[in-house]
Structure 1
C-alpha cells in the first residue's frame, strides 16, 4: 500500500456541519467528506483491488467510490486528519488476506484423554445416586 499515491488520489469536500457550535456552525464549513475511487486507483495490485472490492462492498457507491465523512470537531483541519486516519485504518484492515484454515485431527492421546474425563464425570454423577437395594 503506497500511502503517498493514495493521498494524491484522495479528494476532499468541506460542507456545513450539524450539531453544537452556535452561530459558528451556520457560517463555517467544518464537516469534511473524503472521496476515493477504487476503480481508478494505482496504489494496489489486481488481487488487492478485488479483495478491497469484496470487503468494502457495503461502503462503496455504484461507481466504486468510497465516501467517508467527519464532523466531530469544530476545526476543519482536525476533521480532515480524522477522516484520513479512518480511511487508512479501514484500508489496512480490508487488505489483510484471509487466513486459510488447515484441517486438523485430534491425536489418539487427546481422544483417550477426553474419553477418560467423560468416564470419570459419569462415575462421579453415578456415585451421587441412592443405591438400589
Structure 2
C-alpha cells in the first residue's frame, strides 16, 4: 500500500475490498435449501443451507481493472460463481459465512501480484567453499585407488 493508505493496483486507484464485496452482494442472488448429512428432524424440516450466486454482470459498474481481475479470479467468464455453505444449523450464520468466503476470494483477487523473483548468484566465499569441497572429495577418491604397480 502506498504511504497515503489508498489501495492500488498497477498504478490505478481501486476500491476497497469491503466496498467491492458489498457491491457484489447487492447484485447477488441468495437461495436456501435443506442441508445434507446428519441432523435429525431440524435438518429434515429447516432450509439452512445458504447458496450465494454471483452473476457475471455483477462486476458491471466497478473500475475496469478491478472488474477484469474479478472476472478472471472468480471464474465469471464461464458463468455464475456459486458459494454454498451448510456448516452451521442457522441459515443466517451460513449466509454470513458465505459472504465472508466471497470477501476472501475478492481480497485474493485484488491482492497485488508478488514482485518477480530476482535470481541471485552464490557469493565469493560460497564458490570458494564449493571448490574446496570438490578438491577435498577428489583427494579422498585419489587416496582410495590401489597403489600403482611397480612391474614394468
Q: Find the counterpart in structure 1 of residue 36 from structure 2.
A: 18
Give the CA deviation at 1:6.
Answer: 2.4
Q: Find the counterpart in structure 2 of residue 73 from structure 1.
A: 88
Matched, 1:112 2:128: yes
Matched, 1:101 2:101: no
Give the CA deviation at 1:127.
Answer: 6.5
Q: Find the counterpart in structure 2 of residue 88 from structure 1.
A: 103
Measure, in 1, the Cα distance between the counterparts of 2:99 and 2:54.
11
Contact 2:33–2:49 (CA<8 Å) still a contact in 1?
A: yes
Q: Find the counterpart in structure 1 of residue 10 from structure 2.
A: none
**Structure 1: which 5+ runs fail to align?**
none
**Structure 2: which 5+ runs fail to align?**
1-15
Give TM-score scaled by structure 2 length.
0.65
Contact 1:6–1:43 (CA<8 Å) still a contact in 2?
A: no
Residues 103 and 130 (structure 1), Cα distance of their counterparts in 2 relative to 1, 3 Å cut: closer
Total equivalences in the alignment: 129
Give TM-score scaled by structure 1 length.
0.73
Contact 1:5–1:42 (CA<8 Å) still a contact in 2?
A: no
- 1:51-75 Cα distance to aligned partner (Å, 9 max, x none): 3333333xx4733x22101001111
Q: CA RMSD in A?
A: 2.8
